[in-house]
A = this chain, B = another copy of it.
Amino acid sequence: MVRKTHLGSILFLFLGLGSFFPTPVQGQVKDEDALYIRKIYDAALTQGQSYVWLEYLTNRIGARLSGSPQAAAAVEYVRQVLDTLALDRVELQPCVVPHWDRGEKEQARIVYSPKIGSQDLHVLALGNSQGTGPMGITGEVVEVRSLDEVDRLGASVAGKIVFFNRPLDPTQINTFNAYGGAVDQRGSGASRASKYGAIGVLVRSMTTRLDDVPHTGGMYYEAGVNPIPAFGLSTNDSELLHRVLQEGPVRVFMRNTSRMLDPKPSHNVIGEIKGSERPDEIILVGGHLDSWVVGTGAHDDGAGCVQAMDVLWLLRQMGYTPKRTIRCVLFMNEENGGAGAAAYAKASDDKKERHIAGIESDRGGFTPRGFTCEAEDAVFEGKFKKILAWSDLLEPYGLSIKKGGSGADISRLKSQKGLMIGFEPVTQRYFDVHHTDIDRFDTVNKRELELGVAAMASLVYLLDKYGM
């Protein structure tokens, strides 16, 4: 147990600082903060629960697609866990989620090429994709590198299968930038190809790695387009298909029975420690409960969920009494709709809540590197300067503060004028497993996961102590 001290308030009395809560200064206050952050790390690395919770969420519950029984089980599991943490409030917040059904295991094969004859391909239906019908479809393949190239080809893609094969840029140091530079093919490729009469779409998987692991991920049909089926294709098979296309025409067979069912009721899960002095100022920490339909959503985003939960558990465990309200939110439906985030933001706005800060962990459970911050333009500089002033306290743990996005589930809370923060781990391995069958518990390292908890809890501590 660590007793909360009131040095901040004492200093205020002596120095008559203009703000009720002192900003960190050199000397004693910073020493006290450094000491407390060290205690947070000690606790996270010796008493953290995140790894055990993640084992349950992944190995015992499994993949948690919105609308699935497993997603419901995950809601119930984390609610029960939060109930054991002696929080002030645990709540299920209703939302209505899209319910996509992957259907039978999808198939694709090169039905004939002069070079290799027939060949099965490693594919996964992209999330939200429609099915081919039970008989499947067969078409000649047209390879493109961009959405624009489809526009240029125009009607010549009619009746064909468009193969989007622009790789992620391996020279990006942050793999999220590489992902961002290629993912339009997955999100919008089917709509673009459908406009010109294509019958299906294959999309190179969103990874720099060369392997046989197909990646799924969200795709969306623009209003009015014929919803043609769309598959993610492994990078090895994308290279293969590219090579055989050099030899002459290639026909591919695709079959899936995916379909969009009626929307389903589901929930965000919220747990909260009420602030002792400023309960109306909310500091959110969160991740998303849902995953895609393969693997077990370990890094994406089981890790973020259990980290957020563990932040509350650790602060409770340490006897920390927050001034402000610290709220853990496990969002539903980040992957294919964002219904949970929308429901949360609406409810929060309706209640005129004020999130002074939010931290989202949705970039994998790897070794922490720091945080990326965003806010509305009018308030950003002041807040960024304030958080930057804490750099000295975070640097010993390898953490740096940068400008950048926060996350899909919390960025809309910017409208409440707070600072929205994305937890940033090392990104090199994330897209090896992202949206695949191999995003499993054994790819998560216990220490790396716990260091993330400690990083987030330390920032929550500073946000709580000094406000934002």
Q: Which residues in A have some Cβ–Cβ distance to B below 8 Å?
A: 41-42, 45-46, 170-171, 173, 175, 208-209, 367, 369, 396-398, 426, 428-429, 432, 445-448, 451
Contacts and interface: CB of A to CB of B under 8 A. Distances in A.
A367 B428 contact: yes
Q: How many copies does the complex hold?
A: 2
A429 B429 CA distance: 13
A11 to B, nearest CB: 29
A458 B158 CA distance: 49
Nearest to A454: B173
A328 B42 CA distance: 40
A397 B173 contact: yes
B448 A429 contact: yes
Contacts of A426: 367, 426
A170 B428 contact: no
Contacts of A46: 170-171
Contacts of A45: 170-171
Given A46-B170, A46-B171, A367-B367, 15 more contacts: A41-B173, A42-B171, A45-B170, A170-B447, A173-B396, A173-B397, A173-B398, A173-B451, A208-B447, A209-B447, A369-B398, A426-B426, A428-B448, A428-B451, A429-B448
B445 A432 contact: yes
A45 B398 CA distance: 24
A368 to B, nearest CB: 10
Which are the 9 A-B pairs with shortest beta-carbon distances? A42-B171, A45-B170, A367-B426, A428-B447, A428-B448, A45-B171, A367-B428, A429-B445, A46-B170
A168 B457 CA distance: 24
A278 to B, nearest CB: 32
18 contacts: A41-B173, A42-B171, A45-B171, A46-B170, A170-B447, A173-B396, A173-B397, A173-B398, A175-B447, A208-B447, A367-B367, A367-B426, A367-B428, A426-B426, A428-B451, A429-B445, A429-B447, A432-B445
A45 B169 CA distance: 10
A191 to B, nearest CB: 31
A310 to B, nearest CB: 15
